[in-house]
Amino acid sequence: MRQTARMLTGKKRWAALMFLALGVAMIILDATVVNVAIPTMVKDLGLTTSDAEWVSAAYSLTFASLLILSGRMADRFGRRLLFAIGVVVFVGASILVAASDSPNSLIAARALQGIGGSMILPSSLSVINAVFVGRDRAVAFAVWGGTIGGMAALGPLVGGWLTTYASWHWAFLINVPIGIIVLVGVLMIVPETKELGGPRGVDIKGTLLITLGLLGVVFALIEGQRYGWYRPTAQFSAAGWEWPSDSISIVFVSAVVGVLALATFVLVEMRRVKRAKVVVVDLRLFRIRSFGAGNIVALVVSLGEFGLLFALPLFLQAVRGYDALQTGVILLALAIGSFVASGVGAPLSQRFGPVRVLQMGMAFEAVGIIVLGFVLSTEVTGWQMAPWLFLYGMGVGFATAQLTGVILSEVPVAESGQASAVQSTSRQVGAAIGTAIIGATLILGLGGVAGQLEDRGVPTAQAEQVSSAVASSAGQAIPALAPLPNGDVLVEGASAGFAEAITLVAWVAGGFVLFGLITSLALPRNAARVESEGYEPPRDHRAHAEG
């Protein structure tokens, strides 16, 4: 059977939502704040380029690979309990990050932050799915989705301000007061819910396989561009250990191991379901059309949804000369759009249905990104970008909230933790693939710098040398060209090449979102949770939940 959740009423429901959303905001904010703080951390701690890259990768790897395990633990042991543990782990890790005095301690603390974040995200969503009903659930999903989109854009602003006017340490120490407020509020207001009945025990083999599989695949997606997809293009090292082979890349080995582990996981889980044993992920959930198709849409849309946010700050600082804080202010337009969408998304969903609002959101995203591609140039201003970033942000706000609701609309509450984790993992894997593709697109586009320089009379040998430097630094070498002989021409040509590259990036990202819009046509038009007390999942799911 599944637990009958105590529904929140009155002011408590909104207070509970506020604390849950604040917890989610904390982990999303931290994931983007670090991008602005890293340059200062490099100087203070003497980080190498590899160290700096691992500061982000360590968080992403642990976060994405443990989401499904954390979601399953939330269902079994208590969603509020796991959320609270996640907050404690995340805040403690944030203190360790701020106190780090060496690359290894910093990277280890960031990995620990990822573990805490993997507990917070799926448990927060499954709590909302369990204790909110009817129109309140739609509003709660909208706020949850708007929080993710808004915080992703606010991160560079907050990180830029703290790094500029305080220190990089406060980019992480800010999590301490936030975490305390969230922890106290959740423990006081949010009721505990968890799965009751069903098979007992622990699926150790499934747990190890899913974690190893996701770790291998996500690592390959994040690091493929840097270390080479098959042949090594750079030396991999971690904690003093170096990859021993110079003929095959660690990325290729990681990908093969990951895929094999996931394939084995599917076979193991299917066998365990037939024997009525506990599983990490009930694969029968994918028979639910809204869940199966929704996760495909989530993965595809994530390929392009935030890919532009990876490349846009690089362009603004290298070509337009904006500092970290000014870049954050420009991206604030996206955050505002996301928050506006979270406020009006629920009423629109009630009137037109969540699938239609989801599709409208993806259409807004695609238009905003593609038109932004036409606007971007070496002379573009923040004001010229703001309307399209705002439209892009509204699309993110609509799509994130409604897609989450659609995916979970027919999932039994007893399995909402694992279902929430699966949809979050789909997004993370899609974002990892998208970041790799966007990064490759940017580097490919920056290859045009040489042509721009040659058109301005720069000798071929020098043009190729400058083009290589610009591509390897993701454009950040452009300002350093100014003091060189003929520096004005070099900066002008390199900037024009970067503008062409960022335009290509925008169109590729927009194309992914358009493809996501097309795939959303497979969603059932009336996908929405049955809000009555008598709701029952499909027969095979009901049998599993009730044991």
Report pTM: 0.74
**In this predicted structure, what is the pLDDT of residue 443?**
77
- Digit-coded pLDDT (tens) for 135-174: 677 677 777 766 776 676 677 777 778 777 777 788 888 8
SS3 237: strand
Q: Is the pLDDT of residue 421 over 80?
A: no
Residues 283 and 355 in one domain: yes
Residue type at 271 in one-letter notation: R
| Distance of alpha carbon 477 from alpha carbon 318, whole angstroms | 8
In the predicted model, is pLDDT for residue 397 greater than 70? yes
Structural domain contains residue 476:
no
Same domain, 246 and 326: no
The domain of 369 spans 10-201+278-448+499-546
- Count of domains in the chain? 2
> Who wins on pLDDT, 92 or 221?
92
Residue 482, classed as helix, strand or coil, is coil
- Count the neighbouring beta carbons within 10 Å of the beta carbon of residue 100: 21
Asked if 189 and 232 sit in the same domain, the reply is no
- What is the model's pLDDT at position 86? 94
Indicate the range of 78-92, 261-275, 320-334 predicted with least confidence: 320-334
Q: Say yes or no: 173 and 302 in one domain.
A: yes
Instruction: Indicate whether 181 and 245 sit together in one domain.
Output: no
Report the pLDDT value the prediction gives residue 411, as an integer from 0 to 100.
77
What is the overall mean pLDDT for the chain?
79
Q: How would residue 198 be classed by pLDDT, with cut points 50, 70 and 90?
A: low
Residues 120 and 73 sit within 8 Å (Cβ to Cβ): no
More confident: 21 or 537: 21
Same-domain pairing of 184 and 290: yes
Q: What is the pLDDT of residue 306?
A: 66
Instruction: Specify whether 128 is located in the same domain as 253.
Output: no
pLDDT at 538 (0 to 100): 42
- pLDDT, position 180: 94
252 in the same domain as 139 = no
> How many residues are given for the chain?
547
Tell me what percent of the residues of the chain surpass a pLDDT of 70. Answer: 85
**Model confidence over 94-134: pLDDT tens digits?**
999 989 888 888 888 998 998 999 899 888 878 887 777 66
* Domain end marker among 237, 258, 277: 277
Residue-wise pLDDT tens digits, 11-46: 777 788 888 888 888 888 877 777 667 767 766 777
Rounded Cα gap, residues 117 and 216, in angstroms: 19
Bridge partners of 238, per DSSP, are 241
Domain final position from 210, 243, 277? 277
Residue 470 lies in a domain: no
Which tokens sit at 200? 């007992």
Question: 241-242 and 237-238 as β-strands: parallel, antiparallel, unpaired?
Answer: antiparallel
Q: Is pLDDT of 522 > 50?
A: yes
Please check whether residue 312 is in contact with residue 20, taking contact to mean a CB–CB distance below 8 angstroms.
no
288 within a domain of the structure (yes/no): yes
230 versus 260: the higher-pLDDT residue is 260
